[in-house]
Amino acid sequence: MLNLLIIYFLLAVGIFLLPKSIKLQKGVLIAVVHLAAFIWFASKIQFISAEKPIILFAHWIPELGLNIEFLLDGLSLAFALLVSGIGASVFLYAHSYMKSYDYTDKFFFFLFLFSGAMLGLVMSSNLIQLFIFWEFTTVLSFFLISFFHEKEVARKAAFQSLVITFFGGLGLLAGILLIGSVVDSYSLNDWIAGSEKIKESSLYLPGLLLILLGVFTKSAQFPFHFWLPEAMQAPAPVSAYLHSATMVKAGVFLLARLSPALGGTAEWTFIVPLFGVITMLIGSYFAITQTDLKIILAYTTINALGILVLLIGIDTRLSIKAAVLFLFIHAFYKASLFMVAGFIEKKTGTRDLNELGGLKKSFPITFGIALLALLSMAGLPPMLGFLGKELIYEAKVQSPGFGSLIFIFGVISNIFMFAVSMRLIFKVFLGKPKNSYNVSKIKNVMFVLGPGLLVLLSLIFGISPNFLGKWIIDPAMSVIYAEPVKAELKLWHGFNLVLFLSLATVAAGALLSYILIKKDWIEEKWRKINKIIFPVRFPEVFSYALEKFVAISVSKTKVMQHGYHRYYILTIILFTAALLWLQLYFTRGWHLETSITFQPFYISGLVLIIVLATLFTVLTRSRIAAIIAMGVTGYGLSLIFLYYSAVDLAITQILAETLMVVMFMLILQRLPVFARLSAKATKIRDLIVASIFGSAMTLVAIKAINVDFNNPISEYFMANSYDKAFGKNVVNVILVDFRALDTLGEVTVLVVAALGVSVLLNSKKPKT
């Protein structure tokens, strides 16, 4: 598995290096790579369906619980098959689609990496690792959506999706860390094993909410759904891929992945279906009145995502089965529909529904493909979609909790979906041709090959669903349900409540679509009413909020980053002093073991001299006097060191002080004299601040004297200095032997400082 990913990433980079003649065919080449991956995954079906996941484990940072863990089980296999299989058809399509654009290298590079990241995501079983791939897809989707970056709308849409999905990604990371702290592991296996412990923990609800935030933003659930229609600025192959098998499905995947670990609780079965239902309704409702082909499809994707989240949330055997099946159904029809939409836009120059019509004559094959795909979307036999719809109804009917409501909303949503499908068929392909288009058929083979295959699969699986059921859906279901499950799939379920519901849906949907297609004014009215009922436009709210956020940040930064050097220092000192005093207050009261004495008197005298020199340095107006007085302070300190048994220290201090004074003298003549810059009030204020800090430090120093070190490490140094390091001077032995690494660091700092000084001062004066 790891090899596969490495191959993906290497090849993606390799695109840039290909010779020109091969480069022309890069779309096909990548499609072949995806096909190979698909075959590799398909060859594992039999192995994995026997309940034997393939596991790859490698240590990364085991101390932090971070390991490289890959897992190929039923669920990830289902997703991997989708990613690689649909990837193959998308790349084949993109090969033709992208021919007329520049910078296709970049495009294929990003898209290739994107599919690699998605594969990595679905095969990860360490959640931190999964998060990394998750963010990887977010970043890459930004580049893909903003591919036409000359257009402002594209940049805006890409930015919007980036911000929203990153925001959710942060939530996801926080959630993973929270729940990970409960079981002390980020491995999926540990999460599933510790499922009970997680659910009992008080961190469960916050963790779940944060993870759901990540899932909902990624999978465009209400109220984050709006980025998806906006992201239609991407090239058609990207839309097809993002909507069908990758990106938005990542959220659904994570939900299914974590269902055994986090699912089944009251919170789960309430929150998840709730958002799923709302999203489902919003998606289908808004899909009806749109006129842009791709935006209609985007809303139907939102609907489908809502259904998937809802089904996983219901968390019964039937709903999971329906979810896995619907995943495939949706991927098949949505990918092909987007490719068809892209094709139509390319050939006709528009994707406005009102300007299209009667395309059946010009593009008969495309019409056939679209018809089958739309039938699947509408949930009509003999397509796989019919099967899915039946199962979903069944799941909803049998769902516990607020099942009846879900079920009513489900019917409404499906009526809308039916109407949307019919509207697309009639508006785009049937009716009077508004224009006629002449296209050579051979050139278009590449365009229709990908979507054609997918639709055919949808048809074949619809007629004989058991192959899909046994080999792919069963293992995936078993993983989500965390126990072996068998799913029987049939096209014909017999006469029952569900069939009746389907018939009713079709009838109502047909009526609705008839009205919509025949009476344009109703549609217009509806759109106007919508504007009144739903006055809030989410993207506008988003950009408004973002603008406000930036404005607040700017004004805050202006206050914080005023640009006055002194006030930064003042702030730092004041805060430090406040913290010190606070800590001194908390630990007030101490036992002073040493008596207050001025003996020996010469040290007291020395201290007095140092204090006087310091005061002189502060007060004098002569620079040379200030520096010499500063030198006196330093020499005085070295004498204190010398008296208290620190010989090396004293010598070093004397030499360093000498060097420092010399250097000050060297540079002094090039600096102006002290100017009297501060007012008296400022000086008094500074003195007060300095005194607060200084007095705190005095107390800290007195406290530090009485700190009792348990087992000072110096004892070890003393004991071993002569025997093991052959040195009598323990200080020197510490420097060059016991703690030589510190000294190495110190020497490095010195060298860097010296080189820095040399570069700073020896460089030419900039011409102004």
Among residue numbers 637 through 676, which ones bind other proteins (CB under 8 A)?
Answer: 637, 640-641, 643-649, 651-653, 655-656, 658-660, 662-664, 666-672, 674-675
Minimal distance in Å, beta carbon 582 to other proteins?
18
**Binding status of residue 749 toward other proteins by CB under 8 A:** yes
- Taking the complex as a whole, the smallest distance from the CB of residue 581 to other proteins amounts, in Å, to 13
Planar angle of CA 322, 326, 331, nearest 5 degrees: 165
Angle at 281 between CA 277 and CA 286, to 5 degrees: 150
When binding is defined by CB under 8 A, the residue of 598, 602, 622, 625 that contacts other proteins is: 598
- Helix H, strand E, coil C: the string for 527-564 is HHHHHHHCCCCHHHHHHHHHHHHHHHHHHHHHHHCCCC
Q: Give Rg (Cα) of the chain.
A: 36
Are the C-beta atoms of 322 and 481 separated by less than 8 Å? no
Interface with other proteins, residue 587, by CB under 8 A: no
- Please confirm whether the linkage preceding 382 is cis (ω < 30° from 0): yes
**Nearer residue to other proteins within complex by CB, 55 or 750:** 750
With binding defined as CB under 8 A, does residue 364 bind other proteins? no
Select from 94-102, 175-183, 226-234, 682-690 the region that touches other proteins (CB under 8 A).
Answer: 682-690
**746 is a contact residue toward other proteins (CB under 8 A):** yes
Nearer of residues 362 and 653 to other proteins, judged by Cβ: 653
Q: Which residues contact 331 (CB under 8 A, 6 or more apart)?
A: 82, 86, 244, 245, 249
User: Residue 198 or 654: which CB sits closer to other proteins?
Assistant: 654
Stretch that binds other proteins, among 21-29, 198-206, 536-544, 687-695 (CB under 8 A): 687-695
Which residues neighbour 532 within 8 Å (Cβ) at sequence distance 6 or greater? Answer: none
Per CB under 8 A, contacts with other proteins among 606-635 are: 607, 610-611, 614-615, 617-618, 623, 626-627, 630, 633-634
- Using DSSP, state whether 73 is helix, strand or coil: coil
Query: Judged by CB, which is closer to other proteins: 484, or 694?
Result: 694
Residue 727 CB, shortest distance to other proteins, in Å, is 4
Give the binding range for other proteins (CB under 8 A) out of 139-147, 159-167, 302-310, 739-747: 739-747
Q: Record the tokens describing residue 650, joined without a space.
A: 């004293």
Residue 503 binds other proteins (CB under 8 A): no
What does 427-447 look like in DSSP terms, one character per residue?
IIISS--SS-----TTTTHHH
- The binder of other proteins chosen from 594, 681, 710, 711 (CB under 8 A): 594
Residue of the chain from 46, 404, 555, 678 that contacts other proteins (CB under 8 A)? 678
DSSP string computed for 358-371: -HHHH-HHHHHHHH
Task: Select the residue interacting with other proteins from 22, 515, 600, 625 (CB under 8 A).
Answer: 600
For the CB of residue 711, give the shortest distance to other proteins in the complex, in Å.
12
Part of the chain binding other proteins (CB under 8 A), chosen from 361-369, 441-449, 452-460, 603-611: 603-611
The footprint of other proteins on residues 705-734 (CB under 8 A) is 705, 707, 712-715, 717-719, 721-734
Nearest distance from C-beta of residue 555 to other proteins, angstroms = 18
Question: Closest CB to other proteins among 354 and 706?
Answer: 706
What's the CA gap between 551 and 558, in Å, rounded? 11
Tell me the two tokens of residue 551: 């404005």
CA distance linking residue 522 with residue 755, whole number of Å: 78
Residue ranges in 561-600 assigned as alpha helix (H):
565-586
CB of 136 or CB of 693, closer to other proteins: 693
Calculate the CA 17 to chain-centre distance.
Answer: 29
Residues shown for the chain:
768
Closest approach of other proteins to the CB of residue 591, in Å: 13
Contact call for residue 579 and other proteins (CB under 8 A): no
Residue closer to other proteins (CB basis): 238 or 629: 629
Residues 556-575 touching other proteins, rule: CB under 8 A, are 562-566, 569-570, 573
Cα angle 509-511-514, degrees, rounded to a multiple of 5: 105
Whose structure tokens read 């093991």? Answer: 724
Count of CB atoms situated within 10 Å of the CB of 158: 24
The C-alpha atoms of residue 554 and residue 334 are separated, in whole angstroms, by 43
Name the residue nearer to other proteins (CB basis): 152 or 708: 708
Binding to other proteins (CB under 8 A) within 506-565 occurs at 562-565
604 forms part of the interface with other proteins (CB under 8 A): yes
Which is nearer to other proteins, 529 or 656 (by Cβ)?
Answer: 656
Give the integer Cα–Cα distance in Å for 369 and 373: 6
Contact between 766 and other proteins by CB under 8 A: the answer reads yes
Round to whole Å and give the CA distance between 636 and 612: 11
For residues 175 and 257, is the Cβ–Cβ distance under 8 A?
no
* Smallest distance from other proteins to CB 444, Å: 57
CA angle 327, 333, 339 (to 5 degrees): 125
CA–CA separation, 312 vs 321, rounded Å? 9
Candidates 43, 597, 710, 711; binder of other proteins (CB under 8 A) is: 597
Half-sphere exposure of 615 (CA within 13 A, CB side): 6
| Among the residue ranges 78-86, 138-146, 301-309, 692-700, the one whose residues contact other proteins (CB under 8 A) | 692-700
Where b means 16+ CB within 10 Å and e means fewer, 332-354 reads bbbbbbbbbbbbbbebbeebebe
Binding-site member from 592, 602, 622, 625 for other proteins (CB under 8 A): 592
Return the number of the residue (122 or 637) whose C-beta is nearest other proteins.
637
